Structure 1
Amino acid sequence: MLQFRMDRGLLSSFCYVSLMLIIFASVIVSAGSGSGRPLAFPAAMGETTLTFWYPDSSDPLPLDGEWMGFPDQLLSPAEVEDNLHYSLPVLFPDIWQPPGPRRHMMTYTLLLKKVPQQTELALFVPEIKNSFRLFVNGREVFNGGYASASVDHARGYSGDRIVSLGKLPPETRLVLQVSNYGHARGGVHSPIILATDDEWQSYYQKNILIEGVVICLAILAGILLLTEFLLIPDHKELLWIGLFALVLAGYTGTTGLGSFSTLFGYFPWPLAVRLEYIGFATAIPLFANWLQSLYRQDIKFRIVKYLNWAAASFLIFILLTPSELFTGLLHLLLLFMTFCLLTSVWMMTMLFIRNRAGVRILIFGAFALMTGISHDLSVFLGLWQGDDLLGVGILIFLVSQIGFLTYYRTQEQIRMLDFNRSLQNRVLETEKLAYTRKAELENKMHELEIKKQEYQRLITEDELTGLMNRHCFFEQIGRRIERNRRVSHAIVMIDVDRFKQICDHYGRDLADLVLKKVARQLVQEAEGRFDWIPARYGSDEFIFWLGGVDADQAAQVARRIQTNISRLKMPVSGRGEDAFRFTVSTGVATNAQGQNLDQLLARASDAVHQQRKQSQKKKHPGMGQEVSLSDHLNTTLFHQKGDSV
């Protein structure tokens, strides 16, 4: 990738804007914190007294210390009251992990004494692994997932929760049921914190807004970057930064306040915990790959390849194993994440020393992101307490990278504009030549299309009658018979009686009109029936394919054709004759014997000759005598006035 010198004015302006964003985010995060001197009221033997805690002026109060607990039991508030003397003191928060006891359920209880009466209170409940139910004075006020003694009924949840309590009586008993069947580190990881309802609601609104904006920006950026990568796959940096943005969105949405649960109403816990651990395993390796792809001439660390293999192994393990297994790798993942962070810091330091283009903006955003990640990891590990900063760090990182990518794309566009100017004249000349050639080709193509349509019509259609010709009929009907041997069908052959005499006596023009009349009658007969196909077979012969009929139905069609044709009147001019009628002979063959098309046609032709012979036997000898149509409509040709031809 070509490098460019960074414009100092643009860099300064962007740094000022980013500094303002940091100050603004710091104000948002720090706003709402209590201004009084922090006080500690650790519980002792399941009780804590709030005599000197003033909700409106003191800091939020962590309810840590000694709670009373009932190991491996989920007790109702009434059962807790009845069996309180059997409870054991438990240091709260209480994490169930090796080398400690491996539990699946527990009930905690704490008695609050001398609770302030003038203020509505609320609890901040950090995410509990992996479900809980909270009771206040015997009344269930909130639940996360579904705490149950049965693994089949337990259901996990993700994200911190704000629980409004209202005004409490002077003595208030809290009962917390916790169950865990899907996480290697169960129990309560952080203390429950008591503060005013207004303070926690303000905290929730500000932080859920920041998380929602971060998630939406990260998802949008990831989709756009991956789409651009699909268009220009040579730019691998788009792939890495796009995946990095999506991983950050998944991690942010399943930690903190659990924004996915707020945005979607319900978000399955197995998917949430996988997204969280995928963030642990892949986020920083993706960032390192992005750096190396962006500055591949300066960064050639072989260790990035090994980080990719390790991250891919973790990813496969997380996707394919139950949550009880991969959540046990937390400390290993955190160690891997720390090593990846140090590697990324070293890579950015090398770029900064070499003063590469845009590296200051990149380092500025990356520093904000790394600070947020490190801070939240320290809070998660209990090294110190504080609000989540990851959302603010991601927001600053995304804004800074948008500025970096905007600058980089601007430089590429300037270079492309210069290149386009040199090609513009050639393009115009090429377009003129192409337009001329295109017009010539279009004219030739139009002529060829007309000829093609004419040839196609001549190949498939009889020129005189407009019916399908013999060759096309044989081709289409042959395929139908092969495909539908079990479907009944029939062929009717129609032969114009004494056609040669008509041609000799009245001329070729009238004979052609006779053929057209027969063709029109067949078309009318087939109208509305897609599987009935008429065609011209020979000089005065026609064939009519009837699909889906039996022998009786085919015979009815043949008789109807004979009847309708015998009623046609042919005008005759210049011969002193008003009109004359003509008849046809028909033959029917069906597929009852499973014969092929040639055999069916031969049988139909024999039937035509047989009918004609029978008609001739029924005729009276001599000219000028008519035979009635009831005698099978024989082959006699007669005038409208009754004179035979």
Structure 2
Amino acid sequence: NATAGTVGKTIDTMIPQYLPQVAFFEAQQGNNEIVIQVSNFYHRSGGILESIKLGSEKQILGLRYKNIANNIFLFGCLIFMGAYHLALFFFRKKNTSSLYFGSFCILIGIRTLLVGEGFLIYLFPGFSWEIAHKIMTLTYYLGLPLILMFFQSIFPKYIHIRMIKMAQIIGAAFGILIILTPARIFTVANPLYQLWTIIVIIYVFGALIKIAIHKEKDSWLIIFGASAFLLSTINDIVFLSIWMNDEGPSFLRALFRTGNLSSVGLFIFAFANSLLLAKRFSDSLEQEEIITVKLTEVNTNLDKIVSHRTKALVESNEKIEQQKHELEKVNRQLQKLSLKDHLTQLWNRRKYDETINSEWNRCLRYQRPIALMLLDIDYFKEYNDFYGHLAGDECLTKIGQTIKNSLSRSTDMAARYGGEEFIVLLPDSGKEEAIKIADMLRLKTESMNIPHEKSSVSNYVTVSIGVTSTVPDGNSSYQDLFNVADRALYQAKNAGRNQVNFLSE
């Protein structure tokens, strides 16, 4: 005797189980009666799934061991390929095809243990038939959207995203039905999902035909593997359908004699996909070698180009640096010229304005004296009118040089203020020193003996000088200093010219 589960007349006395059995008996002469007892309260259909096989002990045991070995081989191959592709995805997240295909292989690998010889039940006879059937059906329901997602990741132009969404929604809905309801309820929905599977298979076959027509690279491997898997899936759907009972069409029972071919079909599909990945990997390596050679050539040429460009750039930078120095030199000269009086070569009024500002602030900070003098050539207009402008320019130049040569300190400054007026700035100088320098300038000017017949004070050119000196404070400015020097000059002129007049604030 051989038993799988417990036969009962009610749902309470029955224990469901799916596990192929081997029974030994000695055949008697004449007719031999084989009695099979079946009860079903848990599934939409029940009974013996496949035909009874008769033979000698050696034949039957050999067939059983062969089937178990095939199941274990398929399980090992599928789990290994699934783990391999999941590892590929782990190291390269962009390759989603490895994720979908690896997950699909794992699901079908688990299913392989529950169909055919039912190796998992063989190892664990007490394993719940209800749970085993839920797992087996779930792997089927979830595997369909996964395989569609895999095809879409490899050939995105041929599998529409709407089809993917629809497969995901339908698979999730039927999966929830399996989890929440017992087998006698959710198995009623199996024919609907099988019909949906056939629609998906037709859609995928259409996509494969388009792929073949467009001659996508290495598509023949995918087409071969996918065709084997899809055809084996159709075989299992028909074999497990309601049409395969004793009252169904005889030609179907003759055509579809064996179930569980989808595991074999998936193995062929997985193997073809592995060949495809290996070929693409080989092509990638070959392409990488070609690119490496080209890149080496480019780098070699690039080194020469960079060396040449670097040399040219260095030369260009040297020229630019040289031009920069020359430009700075010219700018300094231009700036100096812009601050010089072109006739007397003394500083001009602009330079004076810059200097008086900085020197005033310095003397204010350190409470040092500062002196200022204004010089005016006596009766210079009459000199110009009588001797001419050329002589007037020469006179201005001589007096300017005399003033410049008379200043011994580098901090002292002489400038042409305008027309026949000159201004002398004496930082760190008090009243006595300023008057002394002013008298020296007046005497040197007159001693140059530049004739001046139109002067009322001398036969030679003379100057009048206004002098002032102060220690800056917060209540005055350098403009105040200038105004005092200007008044001192005015008084010197009114007093008869050719003299120095000092005026304090």
TM-score by length of 2: 0.51
1:283 matched to which residue of 2? Answer: 143
Deviation at 1:329, TM superposition (A): 0.9
Deviation (angstroms), 1:341: 1.0
Q: CA deviation at 1:265?
A: 5.8
Decide which of 267, 282, 287 is 1:410's aligned counterpart.
282
How far does residue 414 in structure 1 lie from its aligned partner after superposition? 4.1
CA contact (8 A) 1:214 1:249 kept: yes
Give the conservation status (yes or no) of the 8 Å contact 1:208–1:257.
Answer: yes
Distance 2:224 2:284 in 1: 22
Q: Is the 8 A contact 2:138 2:175 kept in 1?
A: yes
SS of equivalent residue, structure 1 residue 308: helix
Paired residue type of 1:376: D
Cα distance in 2 between the residues matched to 1:233 and 1:147: 51
C-alpha spacing 1:207/1:408, structure 2 compared with 1 (3 Å)? same
Among residues 216, 233, 242, which one is paired with 2:76 in the alignment? 216
One-letter identity of the residue aligned with 1:203: L
1:384 maps to 253
Say whether residues 1:394 and 2:266 are aligned partners: yes
Cα deviations by residue, 1:465-496 (Å, 9 ceiling, x for unpaired): xxxxxxxxxxxxxxxxxxxxxxxxxxxxxxxx
Partner of 1:371 in structure 2?
Answer: 231
User: What CA deviation, in whole Å up to 9, does each residue of 1:237-288 have, x standing for no partner?
Assistant: 1121112112222332222222323455654312321233224323333222
Percent identity (aligned): 22
Distance 1:413 1:147, change over 3 A: farther
Aligned residue number for residue 175 of structure 2: 315
Structure 2's unaligned 5+ residue stretches are 245-251, 300-505
Q: Distance in 2 between matches of 1:294 and 1:273?
A: 32
1:352 touches 1:359 (CA, 8 Å); kept in 2? yes
- How much has 1:363 moved relative to structure 2? 0.8
Whether 1:331 aligns to 2:200 is no
Aligned-partner Cα distance in 2 for 1:409–1:188: 47
Query: Which letter does structure 2 place at the counterpart of 1:336?
Result: W
- Unaligned regions of 5+ residues in structure 1, if any? 1-140, 427-645
By percentage of residues, which structure has more strand? 1
| Aligned pairs for 1:150-161 within 5 A | 151-152=11-12, 154-161=14-21
1:420: Cα distance to partner? 7.3
User: Following the alignment from structure 2 to structure 1, what is the Cα–Cα distance between the partners of residues 264 and 7?
Assistant: 33
- 1:138 aligns with none
Q: 1:370 to 1:298 in 2, by over 3 A?
A: closer
Classify 1:264/1:396 alpha carbon distance in 2 versus 1 (closer, same or farther; 3 Å).
Answer: farther
Cα gap change, 1:266 to 1:363, in 2 (>3 Å): farther
C-alpha distance in 1 between matches for 2:93 and 2:106: 18
Offset of residue 332 of structure 1: 0.8
Q: 1:333 to 1:354 in 2, by over 3 A?
A: same
Give 2:39's aligned residue. Answer: 179
Native 8 Å contact 2:19 2:122 kept in 1: no
Residues 151 and 394 (structure 1), Cα distance of their counterparts in 2 relative to 1, 3 Å cut: same
User: Matches of 1:177 and 1:152 in 2, distance apart?
Assistant: 17
Tell me if structure 2 keeps the 8 A contact 1:244–1:287.
yes
Q: Distance in 2 between matches of 1:235 and 1:316?
A: 29
Q: 2:49 and 2:124 mapped to 1: Cα distance?
A: 26
Instruction: Please say if residues 3 and 21 of structure 2, whose CA atoms lie closer than 8 Å, have aligned partners that are also in contact.
Output: no
CA-CA distance at 1:342 after TM superposition: 0.9
Is the 8 Å Cα contact of residues 148 and 179 (structure 1) preserved in structure 2?
A: yes
Q: Between Structure 1 and Structure 2, how many residues are aligned?
A: 286
Secondary structure in 1 matching 2:24:
strand
Bigger Rg over Cα: 2
Amino acid in structure 1 at the alignment position of 2:105: A
**Which residue in 1 is equivalent to 2:25?**
165
Structure 1 ranges of 4+ moved more than 6 A? 418-421
Q: Alpha-carbon deviation of 1:199?
A: 3.2
Q: Which residue of 2 aligns with 1:80?
A: none
Matched to 1:408, the amino acid is R
The 1:144–1:251 alpha-carbon spacing in structure 2 relative to 1, beyond 3 Å, is same
Confirm whether residue 300 of structure 1 aligns to residue 155 of structure 2: no
**1:566 corresponding residue in structure 2:** none
Counterpart of 2:284, as a letter, is E
> Residues of 1 paired with 2:86 and 2:5: CA distance?
34
Distance 1:408 1:197, change over 3 A: same
Cα distance in 2 for partners of 1:153, 1:232 equals 54
The 1:160–1:334 alpha-carbon spacing in structure 2 relative to 1, beyond 3 Å, is farther
Distance, in Å, in 2 between the alignment partners of 1:262 and 1:413 is: 46
| RMSD over aligned Cα atoms | 3.0
Q: Per the alignment, do residues 234 and 263 of structure 1 end up closer, same or farther by CA in structure 2, a change over 3 Å counting?
A: farther
Give the one of 348, 358, 366 matched to 2:208. Answer: 348
**Using the alignment, how far apart are the partners of 2:234 and 2:205 within structure 1?**
13
| Residue aligned with 1:256, SS | coil
Q: 1:266 to 1:338 in 2, by over 3 A?
A: same
Give 1:418 shift: 6.3
Amino acid at match of 1:316: I
**Gap change, CA 1:321 and 1:404, over 3 Å in 2:** same
* Corresponding position: 1:143 with 2:3: yes
1:234 partner SS: coil
Distance 1:419 1:315, change over 3 A: farther
Q: 2:90 aligns with which of 211, 214, 230?
A: 230
Counterpart pick for 1:245 among 101, 105, 123: 105
1:396 alignment partner AA? I
Letter in 2 for 1:384: R
Asked if the contact 2:17/2:129 (under 8 Å) is kept, the reply is yes
Equivalent-residue separation in structure 1 for 2:263 and 2:163 (angstroms): 29
Counterparts in 2 of 1:279 and 1:345: CA distance versus 1, 3 Å: farther
C-alpha distance 176-236 of structure 1, shift in aligned 2 (>3 A): same
What secondary structure, in the 3-state scheme, does the structure 2 residue paired with 1:142 have?
A: coil
In structure 2, do the counterparts of structure 1 residues 335 and 202 end up closer, same or farther at CA, with 3 Å as the change threshold?
same
Aligned to 1:165, the other structure's residue is in SS state coil
Rounded Cα–Cα distance in structure 1 between residues aligned with 2:79 and 2:153: 21
1:271 aligns with 2:131: yes
TM-superposed CA distance for 1:233, in Å, is 2.2
Structure 1 residues 162, 367: closer, same or farther in 2, change over 3 A?
Answer: farther
- For normalisation by structure 1, the TM-score amounts to 0.41
CA deviation digits over 1:196-251, x for unaligned, max 9? 43333332233222222111111111122223223322221112111211222233
* Alpha-carbon contact 1:222-1:244 (below 8 Å) kept: yes
Q: State the alpha-carbon separation in 2 of the partners of residues 193 and 304 from structure 1.
A: 42
Taking structure 1 as reference, are residues 206 and 374 closer, same or farther at Cα in structure 2, changes over 3 Å only? same
The alpha-carbon deviation at position 292 of structure 1 amounts to: 0.5
User: 2:144·2:171 contact (CA, 8 Å) conserved in 1?
Assistant: no
